[in-house]
Structure 1
Amino acid sequence: MTVLPPSRTVTGPPPGTRVETLPSVPGLGGLYVRGAAGSAAAQIPGRTTATTLPAVAHRVEGVRVDPGHLTSYQHLLGETGSDALPSGFCHVLAFPVATAVMVRTDFPLPLLGMVHVANAASVLRPVHLGDALDVTAWTQDLRAHRRGTQLDVCAEIAVDGEVAWRGISTYLAKGVHLVGGAESSDAESSVTADASDQESSGEVGASVVWRLSADVGRAYGAVSGDRNPIHMSALSAKAFGFPRAIAHGMYTAARALADVGARRGPTYDWTVEFAKPVLLPGRVDVTYTTGADGAWTYAGRSSSGRPHLAGTVIPNA
Structure 2
Amino acid sequence: MNRQWQDLHSPDSRASLYLRAASKRKISGASLPTRGLRSMIRVQPDNLAAYRRLCHFPDDGRLPCSYPHVMAFNLQLQLLTAQDFPFPLLGLVHLHNRIDVVRPLGGIDALQFAVYADNLQAHAKGGTFDLVTEAEDGLGVLWRETSRMLVRGLKVDDQAPPNDEPEPDGLAQVTRWYADSDIGRRYAKVCGDYNPIHLSAASARLFGFPTAIAHGMWSTAMALAALRGHMPNSGYRIEVAFRKPVRLPSEVLLSASEAGPAGSLRLQGQGDLEHMVGRWAVL
1:68 and 1:96 map into 2 onto residues whose CA distance is 17
- Matching of residues 115-194 of structure 1 within 5 Å: 115-178=93-156, 180=157, 182-187=158-163, 192=167
Is it true that 1:50 corresponds to 2:29 in the alignment? yes
- 1:128/1:27 Cα in 2 relative to 1: closer, same or farther (>3 Å)? farther
TM-score computed with the length of structure 2 as normaliser: 0.93
Assess if the C-alpha contact under 8 Å between 2:90 and 2:195 holds in 1: no
Ranges in structure 2 where 5+ consecutive residues have no aligned partner: none
- Identify the residue that residue 255 of structure 2 maps to in structure 1: 287
State how 1:6-25 maps to structure 2 within 5 Å: 15-25=1-11
Distance apart, 1:177 and its partner CA: 1.5
Kindly tell me the number of residue pairs found equivalent between the two proteins: 282
Q: Secondary structure at the match of 1:309?
A: strand
Secondary structure of 1:264's counterpart equals coil
**274-283 vs 169-178, which moves further:** 169-178
> Closer, same or farther in 2 for the Cα pair 1:85/1:92, shift >3 Å?
same
1:100-111 aligned within 5 A: 100-111=78-89
Amino acid of the residue matched to residue 79 of structure 1? Answer: F
Hey, what's the Cα distance between the residues in 2 that align with 1:79 and 1:313? 18
Matched-pair contact (CA < 8 Å) for 2:21–2:81: yes
The two structures, once aligned, show a CA RMSD in angstroms of 2.0
Q: Which runs of 4+ in 1 moved over 4 A?
A: 189-192
- The residue that corresponds to 1:114 in the other structure is 92
Q: Distance in 1 between matches of 2:147 and 2:223?
A: 17
Partner residue, 1:276 = 244
State the shift of 1:205 in Å. 2.7
Corresponding residue for residue 36 of structure 1: 22
- Higher mean displacement: 120-129 or 249-258: 120-129
Whether the 8 Å contact between 2:134 and 2:141 is mirrored in structure 1 is: yes
**What SS does structure 2 have at the residue aligned with 1:21?**
strand
8 A Cα contact 1:65 1:129, kept in partner: no
Q: Report Cα offsets for 1:210-243 as digits up to 9, x if no partner.
A: 1111111111111111011111111211222212
Match of 1:99 among 52, 73, 77: 77
Q: Which residues of structure 1 form unaligned runs of 5+?
A: 1-14, 44-48
Q: CA deviation at 1:80?
A: 1.1
> In the TM superposition, what is the alpha-carbon distance from 1:90 to its structure 2 partner?
1.1
Shift in CA distance, 51/176, structure 1 to aligned 2, threshold 3 Å = closer
